[in-house]
A and B are shown apart, each in its own frame.
Chain A
């Protein structure tokens, strides 16, 4: 496909680069790139690849734009809050570069659909927010022989690499097994500096363009770490693991597996033991008003406590409770009536179990956390 006069004008700053030129721009215009996730990383990746002229851009996301996304997800705006993220992306990209074919997948990426979706693309870019999807994406790319541009962010730090099992290591060579659930927070729990998405996402887009052009030194076999607070880049040399279960000498994985199970995530089914530990928010309100040796403990992080709190609650973050050191629970006696709460009721259930194990006898976890409190008891408590 030869460039037409409008394209020559539009891409002139690329055409002037000897490393791109007319031939390179034609390669970009013919390339097919899939972006997984249309959030923090997917936003700058999609915007810049569209501006660069990548001929076909695929977006997969099943989420809807929320006000709390706009702090970093620059693909979306106030006018698309409540819309499907993939539709919001398609409209935004049509405005940047109408010549691009945008393919949207408003669905969750699963072991059932991944191979079929990936096979139509030259390069896959990872902008997901969870471990099951990361391992799924890695495995599907290895099995199909597609390069994967990896990026991840948390708080003030980011990671970028390119995994191409034919030429270097894959994600499993680095992290053969996922961390235990709950040990590594995601952005919704740990927070993220919005602009960090631009740093990491634009590095990923850069790598994707280099892969298309076949120019420069890509991050295959290298791992970049970025620390925004220290404003430092570090690099690690990676090696292919000959024992890697999917790209090593004797692979044991030849098809996609159940990644939720692999990552130790079981579908949330409330066990009878969990239900027995829970208490309704209305009952907690009654008890708070009653006083008399009743203790409400907020197990969220201090930054969350500053955003909003329930009057009368004492802050003791879950991490401190799980250390099971009595010094952190000074002034609370084993027979006190204790209710723990968090944001949505998951962390507080863990806290209640830890307290029971420490010998506290009368412990309950407030179902639905402070979100439910805001919905049903006190709407002046903001949601975050």
Chain B
């Protein structure tokens, strides 16, 4: 099982804050993004378009980073807030 964590505004897009997926072998962040895009098209598009930061086991990842069973993959959108 791979644990997926969604942060901030991505929770609304994914409709959940985390989920567990059965990968059935090694995959990549890109393939995971494509799979997520099937249920949440906007989220998939953002992941594949590099609009969100992805980490695998708390280490920042690229689209080619491998993802294996037991990994924790986090998706983090940029925040704009601060002053006003």
Decide whether A and B are members of one complex.
yes
Chain A residues within 8 Å of B82, by CB = 37, 39-42, 126-129, 151-153, 187
Are B60 and A39 in touch, CB under 8 angstroms? no
- What are the interface flags for A177-203 relative to B under an 8 Å C-beta threshold, 1 for contact and 0 otherwise? 111100111111010100000000000
The 0/1 profile, CB within 8 Å of B marked 1, for residues 130-174 of chain A is 110010000000000000000111110111000000000000001
Number of chain B residues close to chain A: CB under 8 A = 24
Say whether B12 faces chain A, with CB atoms less than 8 Å apart.
Answer: yes
Residues A238 and B60 in contact in the complex (CB < 8 Å), given A127-B83, A153-B82 = yes
A158 and B9 CA atoms in complex are apart in Å by: 12
Q: Please pick, from B51, B58, B81, the residue contacting A177 in the complex, using a CB distance under 8 A.
A: B51
Q: Kindly identify, within residues 31 to 82 of chain A, every residue whose CB is under 8 Å from any CB belonging to chain B.
A: 36-42, 61, 63, 69
Residues on A with beta carbons closer than 8 Å to the beta carbon of B46: 179, 183
Closest residue of B by beta carbon distance from A157: B8
| A41, A129, A192: most-surrounded residue (chain B CB, <10 A) | A129
Total interface residues on A, CB under 8 Å, equals 49
25 contacts between A and B (CB under 8 A): A39-B82, A129-B81, A130-B80, A131-B80, A134-B80, A152-B78, A154-B81, A157-B7, A174-B53, A175-B51, A177-B49, A183-B9, A183-B51, A183-B77, A184-B78, A184-B79, A186-B81, A190-B81, A223-B53, A225-B76, A234-B58, A236-B59, A236-B76, A237-B60, A239-B60
B-binding residues in A (CB < 8 A)? 36-42, 61, 63, 69, 126-131, 134, 151-155, 157-159, 174-180, 183-188, 190, 192, 223, 225, 234-239, 319
| Further pairs besides A128-B82, A319-B12: 4, Cβ < 8 Å | A37-B84, A38-B83, A41-B83, A178-B51
